[in-house]
């Protein structure tokens, strides 16, 4: 009779345990999110803890040149696993100060969250009445010694609860442990580089104070997890756009890869398209820190057609900074060609061999005659011809030649990217449109972007008090028309200027206007000479 009662009690306890297990799993699935709890089977599951570092935790990767530093570290900190808690905490503080004092600051990375700690559990048949759950911890940064200590702590938690369900309390306790520096004295994480000798030299530092890791995979995993966690939190919150000042959910924003500043996608897209249409892609920058927005960010903002234009502008900007690049003058080609340093002849992939000075076909061994004499010859041909299309072609050739000669004689190379820069007026503080570098027009030295005018106020500078001084080859700030003697010539110039109104797509300098005025006058002289003959 007593045996039957014992069996019934045992069966009743098992049923109660099973019911409590089912209720506990239902409670966990309703209270915790999918990123915090996952049920694997009717009697097993996984608790996931996302440790938050407040204040941020510093990660120091150590490289081979820190060999002497590692030896100092080895001699300075020796702690056994059985050290007193007070001593251990003081040593952690001493270790943190040691790192911040001895390691270079640029090698440090601050992280706000660590990779998740996964605690897998299994229910025995007599849980929770007689046996605790079985636990296994999976974590990329938690040492084996610390894992065993955490598992012992979870088992002791079940014992203190007197045979009751313990998983939710265990989850809250784990969050408290990993986020409380007093309960979990990890201190700063020390990461050794992928050099086995360094790992061996740090073996005695393992234990209660510091974990030593191989950095080949750990550093990137740590940074990637911290970034993903921050992005997940960011998406679920509302933020204000610094451009349109509207409050939007994080899903409408974009975090820039380089500086991690954020802005709503619509504003960033509009900014990118404006600069792409204007050809000033280097001005696509973060509004908060002025860092250049990386191409991978731009690609996520705009269409594939616009991104092709962006890439084409990138290529053109890169080619413009190369002093050995010319463009094929053959109609329909226009491909960039690398010129030889000691030759005036370039060969395009289309097969056209041309002179880099006059853009005509190669002269062979004869020197190029593209100079003032050649321009004068073209001007003579321009006066004699009566065909409009020939005049238009000759005018274009003369204009291009004069522009090239002016650039060669007056423009200078940017000292940063070597692109040609023209100074049309104003002060000697120059800004390159290609690389956006700041430099002095007089001495061609780079200037501080934040305070470029300090160069002109420094008594030690060769350009002191010469912000508006003119260089040897600089023209006047305001270029007036150079009118020759005679009212008739002036009237001709005015007539040419009137004809050019409404044609902003073409730029004419005063020499071109003078040339056209001469054509008008010569035409009048010819007409006057022909009238008496009639």
Q: What is the pLDDT of residues 232-244, one digit of tens each?
A: 888 888 999 988 8
Give residue for tokens 């004499």: 373
Q: How far apart are CA 8 and CA 137, in angstroms?
A: 36
Q: DSSP letters along 406-460, please? A: HHHHH-EE-TTT--EE---SS-SEEE-TTT--EEETTT--B--SS-GGGGGT-TT
As a whole number, the mean pLDDT across the chain is 73
Residue spans of alpha helices (H) in 129-195: 144-160, 167-179
Kind of pairing between the strands at 189-192 and 52-62: parallel
Closest CA to 361 of 376, 378, 345: 345
Residues 231 and 226: their CA atoms lie apart, in Å, by 9
Confidence of residue 469 (pLDDT cuts 50, 70, 90): low
Q: How far is CA 232 from CA 175, 237, 308, in A?
A: 18, 9, 31
Residue with tokens 């004689």: 409
Q: What integer pLDDT is reported at residue 314 of this predicted model?
A: 85
Higher per-residue confidence, 506 vs 242: 242
Rounded Cα distance, 401 and 325, in Å: 18
Report which listed range, 4-8, 63-67, 277-281, is most confident: 277-281
Query: Which tokens in the block code for residue 384?
Result: 């004699």
- Assigned architecture for domain 247-320: 2-Layer Sandwich (3.30)
- For 157-171, 195-209, 282-296, 422-436, which range has the lowest pLDDT when averaged over its residues? 195-209
How confident is the model at residue 6, as a pLDDT? 65
Task: Name beta bridge partners: 354.
Answer: 346, 361
Pick from 297, 315, 299: which is nearest to 307 by CA?
Answer: 299
* CA distance to 32, 72, 210, per residue, from 68 (Å): 48, 6, 19
The predicted structure's pLDDT at residue 243: 87
**What's residue 133's pLDDT?**
92
Give the N- to C-terminal CA distance of the chain in Å, as an integer. Answer: 151
The C-alpha atoms of residue 183 and residue 177 are separated, in whole angstroms, by 6
Over residues 133-153, mean pLDDT: 83
How far apart CA 261 and CA 236 sit, in angstroms, is 17
Between 47-61, 214-228, 482-496, the lowest mean confidence (pLDDT) is in: 482-496
Question: What are the start and end residues of each CATH 3.30.40.10 domain in the chain?
Answer: 247-320
pLDDT at site 112: 79
Q: Answer yes or no: pTM beyond 0.75.
A: no
334-352 mean pLDDT: 85
Q: What are phi and psi of 209, to 5 degrees?
A: -100, -50
Question: Is it the case that residue 165 has pLDDT exceeding 60?
Answer: yes
pLDDT at residue 376 tops 90: no
Instruction: Please report, rounded to a whole number, the percentage of residues in the chain having pLDDT higher than 90.
Output: 12
Cβ-based burial of 99 (10 A; exposed 0-12, middle 13-18, buried ≥19): buried
Task: Give percent above pLDDT 70 in the chain.
Answer: 67
Is the predicted pLDDT of residue 457 greater than 80, yes or no? yes
Within 8 A by CB and 6+ apart from 460, the residues are none
How do strand 238-240 and strand 117-122 relate by DSSP bridges?
Answer: unpaired
> Residue 208: pLDDT band by 50, 70, 90 thresholds?
very low
In this predicted structure, what is the pLDDT of residue 24? Answer: 92
Residues 91-138 pLDDT 10s = 433 444 444 455 555 556 677 787 888 999 999 988 988 889 999 998
pLDDT of residue 329: 82
Other beta carbons within 10 angstroms of residue 484's beta carbon come to: 11
């Amino acid at each position: 009779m007593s045996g039957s009662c014992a069996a019934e009690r045992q069966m009743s306890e098992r049923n109660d345990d099973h019911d409590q297990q089912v209720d506990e799993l239902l409670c966990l699935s309703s209270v915790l999110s999918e990123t915090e709890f996952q049920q694997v089977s009717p009697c097993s599951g996984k608790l996931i803890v996302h440790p938050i570092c407040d204040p941020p935790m510093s990660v120091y990767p150590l490289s081979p040149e820190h060999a002497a530093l590692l030896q100092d570290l080895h001699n300075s900190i020796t702690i056994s696993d059985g050290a007193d808690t007070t001593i251990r905490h003081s040593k952690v503080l001493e270790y943190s100060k040691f790192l911040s004092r001895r390691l270079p600051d640029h090698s440090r990375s601050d992280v706000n969250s660590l990779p998740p700690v996964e605690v897998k559990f299994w229910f025995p048949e007599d849980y929770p009445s007689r046996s605790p759950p079985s636990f296994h911890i999976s974590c990329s940064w938690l040492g084996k010694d610390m894992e065993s200590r955490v598992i012992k702590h979870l088992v002791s938690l079940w014992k203190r609860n007197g045979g009751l369900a313990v998983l939710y309390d265990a989850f809250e306790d784990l969050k408290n442990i990993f986020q409380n520096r007093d309960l979990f004295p990890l201190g700063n994480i020390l990461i050794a580089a992928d050099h086995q000798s360094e790992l061996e030299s740090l073996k005695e530092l393992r234990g209660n104070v510091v974990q030593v890791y191989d950095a080949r995979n750990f550093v990137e995993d740590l940074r990637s997890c911290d970034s993903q966690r921050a992005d997940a939190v960011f998406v679920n919150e509302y933020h204000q756009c610094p451009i349109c000042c509207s409050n939007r959910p994080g899903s409408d924003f974009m975090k820039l890869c380089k500086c991690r500043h954020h802005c709503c996608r619509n504003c960033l897209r509009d900014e990118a398209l404006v600069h792409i249409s204007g050809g000033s892609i280097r001005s696509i920058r973060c509004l908060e820190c002025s860092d250049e927005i990386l191409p991978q960010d731009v690609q996520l903002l705009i269409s594939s057609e616009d991104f092709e234009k962006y890439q084409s502008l990138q290529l053109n900007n890169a080619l413009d900074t190369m002093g050995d690049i010319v463009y094929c003058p053959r109609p329909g080609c226009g491909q960039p060609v690398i010129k030889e340093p000691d030759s005036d002849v370039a060969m395009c992939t289309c097969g056209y061999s041309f002179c880099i000075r006059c853009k005509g076909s190669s002269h062979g061994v004869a020197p190029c005659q593209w100079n003032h004499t050649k321009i004068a010859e073209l001007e003579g041909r321009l006066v004699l011809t009566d065909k409009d299309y020939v005049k238009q072609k000759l005018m274009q050739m003369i204009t291009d030649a004069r522009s090239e000669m002016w650039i060669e004689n007056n423009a200078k190379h940017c000292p940063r990217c070597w692109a040609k820069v023209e100074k049309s007026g104003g002060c000697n503080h120059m800004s390159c449109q290609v690389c956006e570098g700041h430099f002095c027009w007089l001495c061609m030295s780079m200037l501080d972007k934040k305070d470029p005018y300090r160069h002109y106020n420094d008594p030690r500078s060769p350009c002191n008090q010469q912000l508006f001084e003119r260089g040897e080859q600089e023209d006047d700030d305001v270029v007036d028309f150079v009118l020759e003697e005679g009212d008739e010539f002036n009237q001709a110039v005015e007539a040419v200027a009137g004809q050019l109104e409404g044609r902003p797509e073409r730029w004419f300098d005063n020499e071109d206007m003078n040339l056209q005025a001469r054509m008008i006058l010569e035409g009048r002289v010819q007409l006057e000479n022909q009238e008496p003959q009639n």
